[in-house]
Amino acid sequence: MSVSVVIGAQWGDEGKGKIVDMYSAKADVVMRYQGGHNAGHTVWVNNTKYVHHLIPAGIIHKDVLNLIGNGVVVEPHALIKEIKELSDMGISLSGRFFVSDRAHIILPYHIAFDKRREEMKGDKKIGTTGRGIGPCYSDKINRAGVRIGDLLNPALLREKIGEQIEFLNATAVNIYGIPPFNLEEMLNEIKKYSEALKPYIADTAVIVNDAIAENKKIMLEGAQGTLLDIDFGTYPYVTSSNG
């Protein structure tokens, strides 16, 4: 058994995608373990361009199992789009790709708050991509997040978001000066995500531990670089997760 980790030594864009592509061909499992769809890898194989924002680059290799771990924050629309793009290119994901039921979901209010907060900072803005990454991690730590596994339980999902909607709308209107959110519209949109992602939701911790026990080769795919690490990077100009 061996577990290898590919991490950028600077701020990202060091060519990690190429390294992951090369070594994942020899791996049994490739797992993305942190970050969101603000990062990713671009890989060229036989003059074909593959762009990965959430799904590990190992998906190109047909015998490799690919996982999104619980440390990642997932924007459902972005993940569904990526699944479709790969499927349209003839890459089968069935039985070869799973997303952790414990990974947190980026919801519309995360994106709206992220963009507005950055606008309000003016010249002191951090440079966030405005994709809701930071607010989603904030909710995770604040124990107010919604997880991928919640998509399988509509009643629980309604309860979780319903409990927060008053606070979310008060924040939207009174602090950020943006329109309030409609709970029913949000739940209807999320229902579409649930149907599309249901086949891929799994307990990836069990899958990885089983692979370790079976002495399989595992590669952990980092999305950013060391200097973007929330603790050891160039704070506050960092990402919202450990690198």
Catalytic (active-site) positions: 13, 41
Short-list 52, 57, 54, CA closest to 6: 57
Q: Is 87 helix (H, G, I), strand (E, B) or coil?
A: helix
Closest by Cα among 27, 165, 196, 176 to 114: 176
Please name the amino acid found at residue 80.
Answer: I
Residues near 213 by Cβ (< 8 Å), separated by ≥ 6? none
Q: Are 30 and 222 in contact (CB under 8 A)?
A: no
Kind and range of the H or E run holding 195: helix 183-197
Kindly provide the residue ranges of all beta strands, DSSP E only, lying in 46-200, ordered along the sequence: 48-52, 65-68, 73-74, 97-100, 104-105
The answer to whether residues 101 and 201 touch, using CB atoms and an 8 Å cutoff, is yes
Q: With contact defined as beta carbons under 8 Å apart, do 190 and 76 qualify? A: yes
* Contact of 42 with 50, CB cutoff 8 Å: yes
First to last CA, the chain: 23
